[in-house]
Amino acid sequence: MTTQDDLTAQSDSTTPSALDCKLRARLLLGVRVENDRLVLADDVLAAALDGGAGLGASERAALAGSPLTMRRLRQLSVERARAWQASSGMLRAAATVCVLEQLVTDDNCWGLHFVPGGAGWQVILKLAADAPFAPALMREQPMLRVRDGGGAVILQGRLDIDGECENAWPFDGAPAARLQLFGASFVVEALRG
């Protein structure tokens, strides 16, 4: 079967439609094999998900032949996505020279945009659509907080349907200067009960 290539190619070319995603998920998750069992341990699956130790050929074949193990992989994938707690980022040196417009977390999952407005600035937090935890986070809608290196809160709120959240820049002075004062770093985190 060449379907493994198809599956890989799929994610490379176009983004599959919601309909296709649902259909494929239902197809893959709906298969049952008599006396199916977990053929790979959680740590093996987790390592493969993390991109560390990949699966060998026989392990892949075992996974492909065990819908139950595939469902477990999905569960781990979903849990991993849900488990996002915080992302951090740094202000690059160059950013101090020009006016600060945008910062990105090290994992590329969050952008922080600064837009001049009125007397000061608006700061906008934006979730990258391709962040692995994006779907789970959009569903969960936890309270989010962005803090600078000194721990002061830059922004707090929940994402809107576009995956954005904004408020006025809460400090005196321009963002770049303020951030530099406290180690040029920032962190985006979820506040969960």
Partner 1 sequence: MRLPGTRYQEHGWEQVRKLLGQCSLLAFSRSDPAQRFEPGCRIDGLGDRLGDRLGDRLGDRSGDALAEYVDLTACALRAAGRSARAEAPGNSYGESVVELALGLLFELQARPGDWAAFAAAVGSEQHKTGAFWARPGGEAMLRKKVNDMFAVLRDKVDADNYQVACGRPCSPNRIYAYRMLDTAYGDIARMFDCWRQNAGQVGVILGREVKVNAAPIEARQMKSIASCRPEWIIRWSASQERFTGAAGPLHTRSKRFASLKNSPDKIGAMLREIGDYEELSANRDGDWQQDALDAGAWLDDLARVLGAPEAAFEPDLEPDRILPASEDDFGSGEPGCGGGDNDNNDNDNNDNNNDNNNDNNNDNDNDDRQVAQLASIAAAVSLPPRFMQLARAAQDQGSWSARAMAGDSLPVRLAVYLKMLGSQDDSYPAEWLDPATGELPTMQQLAALDQVSLPTLRKRRDAAIAGLLAAARP
Asked whether the beta carbons of 107 and 157 are under 8 A apart, the reply is: no
Q: Which helix (H) or strand (E) holds 123?
A: strand 120-127
Torsion-angle region of 171 (φ positive above 0: left; ψ -120 to 50: alpha; else: beta): beta
Task: Give the largest Cα separation in the chain, rounded.
Answer: 68
If one asks whether residue 104 binds partner 1 (CB under 8 A), the answer comes out as no
Q: Contact region for partner 1 (CB under 8 A) — 23-31, 90-98, 102-110, 116-124? A: 23-31
Q: Which residue, 178, 186, 189, 113, is CA-closest to 149?
A: 186
In whole angstroms, the minimum distance from the beta carbon of 85 to partner 1 comes to: 17
Interface map 120-159 toward partner 1 (x if CB under 8 A):
------------x-xxx--x--------------------
Q: Contact region for partner 1 (CB under 8 A) — 63-71, 90-98, 119-127, 175-183? A: 63-71
Complete DSSP assignment for 24-39: HHHHHHH---TT----
Asked whether the beta carbons of 180 and 95 are under 8 A apart, the reply is: no
If one asks whether residue 71 binds partner 1 (CB under 8 A), the answer comes out as yes
Q: Contact region for partner 1 (CB under 8 A) — 61-69, 93-101, 153-161, 180-188? A: 61-69
Residues lying near partner 1 in the complex (CB under 8 A): 1, 3-4, 6-8, 10-11, 14, 16-42, 44-45, 48-49, 51, 53-60, 62-64, 68, 70-78, 81, 132, 134-136, 139
